[in-house]
């Protein structure tokens, strides 16, 4: 017998059989349930999409209870150990690990697209010296749509591919220029001899040396952080990318919106918030007092908790290991002891245990970024660079899905019933 859900409407006594597939029912199947012929039909109410699958996706799998994260079936721990960001981006986009030749071609395409149009540089120069780099980043990504009008041809496979190369290749250049702008230094052009992460470090930190030599430990650590952040199924920014993309706008405009969603402190801005929190706490001795305040509802323990993970975020485990490697080069971040003490207390405190609140990816990433010399304002930008792979993969998957329609949820109207306009002199 096929899986179905039997529903009896107590208002009418009518019975309905609603098919169940993939552990879901289709919300539209409920529309047939009407109290009267002119009734609109039953809807579901799900603010923040807590229990609504918005799409079918073959890209990323998360088991939040068990702390499992897979890209195209491959465990994140194995990719972090064995792969590099560009290979992982290829996997996320095309579904399979590349052959040697495919990887070479992919890497050369990305490398060839790292330069920014000189007018983009001029555009970026217009920002105030103290502009937040994430504000610069998302505005500049949006502005790319005016430089590449061919990007509107979203149903042409070759055009889509070209925009994907451009986006993945240019976001580090934009991020680096935003950083250099904020510290008043000249922009550095890409060095195509270097790896993806090595070139990014070059664009950020090169001074007067002719050839920048990235520290291999730091370049690898950054690359692994990029792998960990490359995709995370239907999170807030990815949902934004899909929603904007469903109107069939070009991907640069979509990505500007996705980056804006990432900017918020509950999403990609969380690692910036973690560092502020650790600075505010100030010392290990003050950790118990801070935890007490959080439990009393006076603020959150930033970098803890996740909508999907109800156990230790697997990315946080990998990051903790990388932190040791990075600190061996840069010296230990003095805030690390406060973070470790926060984690130690929270993991045995009833408040956090019963709510299944564990460290998420952002709890330790900020400490690493800070030790590597990034100001906190750069943290969300560092998240946006690798997430670009996930955003464009999810955008393309959405476009090619025959079930895609423009995203347009319903509402429960709570305003006044229809009434007549009152002339100004008659209003009390
Ligand atoms: N500190 C203290 N209490 C928390 C925290 C936290 N970090 N997170 C959740 N809670 C509490 C809530 O107050 C709530 O308690 P209650 O049941 O007594 O009301 C309970 O745990 C459930 O929390 P919700 O807010 O319902 O969980 P939701 O799934 O909506 O939120 C979120 C998830 C936004 C990540 C939340 O845990 C949070 O704000 N964390 C801090 C910010 C953060 O680190 N964000 C990064 C997320 S990862 C990423 O985007 C890459």
Q: Which of 29, 267, 337, 349 is catalytic?
A: 267
Task: Tell me the CA–centroid distance for residue 162 and ligand 1, in Å.
Answer: 38
pLDDT tens sequence across 123-172: 999 999 899 999 999 999 999 999 999 999 999 999 999 999 999 999 99
- Report residue 89's pLDDT band, with 50, 70 and 90 as the boundaries: very high
Q: Mean per-residue pLDDT for 20-44?
A: 96
Asked if 322 and 227 touch (Cβ cutoff 8 Å), the reply is: no
pLDDT tens sequence across 262-287: 999 888 888 888 999 999 999 999 99
- In this predicted structure, the answer to whether residue 1 has a pLDDT above a threshold of 80 is no
Q: What is the pLDDT of residue 423?
A: 97
Q: Mean per-residue pLDDT for 358-366?
A: 90
Q: What number of helices (H) and strands (E) belong to the chain?
A: 17, 5
Task: Tell me the CA–centroid distance for residue 301 and ligand 1, in Å.
Answer: 8
Q: Mean per-residue pLDDT for 81-101?
A: 98
Please tell me the residue having the least CA distance from ligand 1 atom 31. Answer: 307
Q: Is the CB of 295 under 6 A from ligand 1?
A: no
Could you tell me the pTM of the whole model? 0.93
> Which residue in the block uniquely carries the two structure tokens 């980056």?
259
Instruction: Say whether 306 is catalytic.
Output: yes
Please tell me the residue having the least CA distance from ligand 1 atom 21. Answer: 355
> Which residue in the block uniquely carries the two structure tokens 């220029």?
177
Please tell me the residue having the least CA distance from ligand 1 atom 36. Answer: 305
Q: Is the CB of 359 under 6 A from ligand 1?
A: no
| Cα dihedral across residues 280, 286, 290, 293: positive or negative | negative
Among the atoms of ligand 1, which is closest to the Cα of residue 304?
Answer: 7
How much is the mean pLDDT over the chain? 95
Instruction: Say whether 100 is catalytic.
Output: no
Q: Is the CB of 228 under 6 A from ligand 1?
A: no
- In this predicted structure, the answer to whether residue 397 has a pLDDT above a threshold of 70 is yes
Nearest residue to 224 (alpha-carbon basis) of 51, 78, 355, 19: 78
Q: Is the CB of 238 under 6 A from ligand 1?
A: no
Question: Alpha carbon 221 to chain centroid distance?
Answer: 19
């Amino acid at each position: 017998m096929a899986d179905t859900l039997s529903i009896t409407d107590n208002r009418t006594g009518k019975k309905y059989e609603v098919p169940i597939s993939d552990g879901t029912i289709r919300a539209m199947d409920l529309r047939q349930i009407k109290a009267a012929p002119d009734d609109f039909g039953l809807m579901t109410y799900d603010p923040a999409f807590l229990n609504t699958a918005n799409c079918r996706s073959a890209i990323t799998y998360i088991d939040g209870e068990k702390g499992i994260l897979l890209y195209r079936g491959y465990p994140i721990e194995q990719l972090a150990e064995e792969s590099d960001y560009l290979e992982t981006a290829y996997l996320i986009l095309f579904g399979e690990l590349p052959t040697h030749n495919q990887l070479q071609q992919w890497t050369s395409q990305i490398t060839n697209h790292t330069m920014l149009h000189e007018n983009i540089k001029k555009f970026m120069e217009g920002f105030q010296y103290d502009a937040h780099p994430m504000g610069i980043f998302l505005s500049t990504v949006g502005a790319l749509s005016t430089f590449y009008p061919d990007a509107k041809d979203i149903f042409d496979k070759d055009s889509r591919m070209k925009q994907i190369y451009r986006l993945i290749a240019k976001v580090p250049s934009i991020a680096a220029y935003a950083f250099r702008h904020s510290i008043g230094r000249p922009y550095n052009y890409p060095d195509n001899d270097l790896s993806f992460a090595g070139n990014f470090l070059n664009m950020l930190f090169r001074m007067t040396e002719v050839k920048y030599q990235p520290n291999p430990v730091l370049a690898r650590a950054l690359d692994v952080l990029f792998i960990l952040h490359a995709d995370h199924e239907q999170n807030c920014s990815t949902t934004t990318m899909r929603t904007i993309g469903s109107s069939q706008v070009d991907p640069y405009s979509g990505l500007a919106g996705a980056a804006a969603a990432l900017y918020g402190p509950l999403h990609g801005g969380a690692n910036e918030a973690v560092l502020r929190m650790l600075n505010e706490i100030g010392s290990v001795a003050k950790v118990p007092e801070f935890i007490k305040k959080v439990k009393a509802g006076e603020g959150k323990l930033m970098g803890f908790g996740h909508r999907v993970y109800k156990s230790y975020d697997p990315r946080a485990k990998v990051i903790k290991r990388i932190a040791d490697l990075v600190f061996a080069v840069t010296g230990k971040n003095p805030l690390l002891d406060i973070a470790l003490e926060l984690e130690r207390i929270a993991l045995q405190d009833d408040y956090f245990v019963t709510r299944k609140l564990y460290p998420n990816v952002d709890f330790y990433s900020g400490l690493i970024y800070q030790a590597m010399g990034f100001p906190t304002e750069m943290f969300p930008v560092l998240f946006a660079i690798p997430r670009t792979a996930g955003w464009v993969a999810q955008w393309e998957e959405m476009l090619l899905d025959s079930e895609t329609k423009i995203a347009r949820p319903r509402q429960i109207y709570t305003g006044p019933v229809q009434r007549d306009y009152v002339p100004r002199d008659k209003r009390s």
